[in-house]
């Protein structure tokens, strides 16, 4: 591990990062880190030659590894993982055991047990662990969190979070539960559960109930079929209730419906996408029938989660106990799936 040591001229060298998986999301995160001058893309690896070429357009000097083991054999300061979900936990642990900080696409694991194993590995290695729970880093959600945590809304007694993706995933493994861990809840609900818990400072969740559907038909708890629509209700120790609704291919009349609303005794705060966009959001502080804008587009947020991780790596990449939050989210997903 190079440790991002100083150059002979005294300038701090950029962390040397290996990028495992350079599909659409992997390339997006890679481009964000390279364009911001936060890392050196030292090594790339992807089974698709086309995706490797696309990565080399971003980082022409990056070496190409034919396997994860070969990637790990290079002198690196960290690894960014953007592979299919079934591989996340195993690959993350392997990198951490090599002493490398990891930034992984969500979900970090298909089950709570997988996530616990990764977090344990990060703690044991004393390496920073990041997960691409990127909506936390939107200006809108940061504003909503600030309003909620300030007490401006009074006692928050309800929250309603929604993520409908009119298109759904385009890779077959998403529909194989053994590979994906679940359907729209695992894919989209992970973001909404994380936002609810994060805004409310990860409260104790005393009960979870859920209804899962596929093509309009209810699914049994032990079904091998992944859900394309789900509603989950979380009851908190405070008595507050959180509802999370997610779907693929819903007839919602737009590309996406993404929102997070928090209701208190003195007001409300809302976060919602604009015009069906996956990228543009606004946030508002609501009192009675009055609404005040907190944040509006444009907001270039998609690279902020990996940027925060890269900053940690540059500062030594030590374990952050906040990684336990990933386990809390995975626990709720397990409870939604009744497993």
pLDDT in tens, 105-149: 999 999 999 999 999 999 999 999 999 999 999 999 999 999 999
Task: Give residue-wise pLDDT tens across range 253-285.
Answer: 999 999 999 999 999 999 999 999 999 999 999
Residue 42: CATH number of its domain: 3.40.50.720
Tell me whether residue 30 is in a domain: yes
The reply to whether 325 falls in a domain is no
Q: Answer yes or no: do 147 and 258 share one domain.
A: yes
- Whole-angstrom distance, CA of residue 161 vs CA of residue 159: 7
The pLDDT value recorded for residue 55 is 98
- Evaluate whether residue 334 is within a structural domain: no
Q: What is the structure's pLDDT at 232?
A: 98
For the chain, the average pLDDT equals 96
- The pLDDT of residue 91 is above 70: yes
Task: Determine, yes or no, domain membership for 40.
Answer: yes
Alpha helices in 138-271, H assignment, sequence order: 139-150, 177-180, 184, 190-199
Contact criterion met (CB below 8 Å) for 22 and 43: no
Cβ atoms 263, 157 nearer than 8 A: yes
Asked if the structure places residue 331 within a domain, the reply is: no
Residue at 10 is within a domain: no
Residue 314's pLDDT band (cuts 50, 70, 90) = very high
Q: Which of 130, 75, 122, 102 is nearest to 20 (CA)?
A: 102
Residue 337 scores a pLDDT above 70? yes
Shared domain check, 95 and 190: no
Quick check: 24 pLDDT over 80? yes
* Domain identity same for 296 and 307: no
Domain shared by 104 and 146, yes or no? no
What residue numbers bound the domain in which 100 lies? 16-134+303-320
Number of domains present in the structure of the chain: 2
């Amino acid at each position: 591990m190079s440790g991002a040591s100083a150059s002979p001229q005294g300038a701090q060298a950029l962390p040397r990062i290996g990028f495992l998986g350079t599909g659409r999301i992997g390339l997006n995160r890679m481009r964000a880190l390279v364009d911001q001058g936060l890392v050196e893309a030292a090594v790339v690896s992807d089974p698709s030659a086309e995706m490797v070429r696309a990565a080399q357009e971003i980082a022409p000097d990056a070496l190409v590894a034919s396997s994860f083991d070969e990637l790990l054999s290079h002198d690196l300061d960290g690894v960014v993982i953007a592979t299919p979900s079934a591989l996340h936990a195993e690959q993350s642990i392997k990198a951490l055991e090599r002493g490398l900080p990891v930034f992984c696409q969500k979900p970090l694991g298909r089950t709570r047990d997988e996530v616990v194993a990764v977090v344990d590995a990060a703690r044991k290695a004393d390496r920073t662990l990041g997960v691409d729970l990127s909506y936390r880093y939107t200006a809108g959600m940061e504003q909503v969190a600030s309003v909620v945590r300030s007490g401006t809304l009074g006692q928050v007694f309800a929250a309603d979070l929604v993520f409908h993706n009119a298109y759904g995933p385009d890779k077959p493994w998403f529909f194989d539960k053994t590979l994906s861990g679940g359907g729209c809840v695992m894919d989209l609900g992970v973001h909404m559960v994380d936002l609810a818990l994060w805004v409310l400072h990860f409260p104790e969740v005393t009960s979870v109930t859920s209804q899962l559907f596929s093509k309009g038909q209810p699914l049994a708890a032990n079904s091998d079929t992944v859900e394309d629509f789900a509603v989950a209700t979380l009851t908190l120790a405070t008595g507050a209730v959180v509802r999370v609704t997610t779907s693929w291919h819903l007839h919602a009349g737009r590309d996406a419906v993404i929102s997070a609303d928090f209701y208190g005794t003195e007001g409300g705060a809302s976060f919602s996408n604009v015009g069906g966009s996956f990228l543009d959001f606004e946030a508002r502080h609501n009192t009675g029938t009055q609404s005040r804008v907190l944040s509006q587009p444009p907001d270039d947020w998609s690279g902020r989660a990996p940027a925060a991780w890269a900053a940690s790596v540059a500062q030594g990449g030590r374990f952050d106990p906040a990684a336990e939050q990933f386990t809390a989210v995975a626990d709720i997903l397990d409870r939604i799936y009744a497993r």
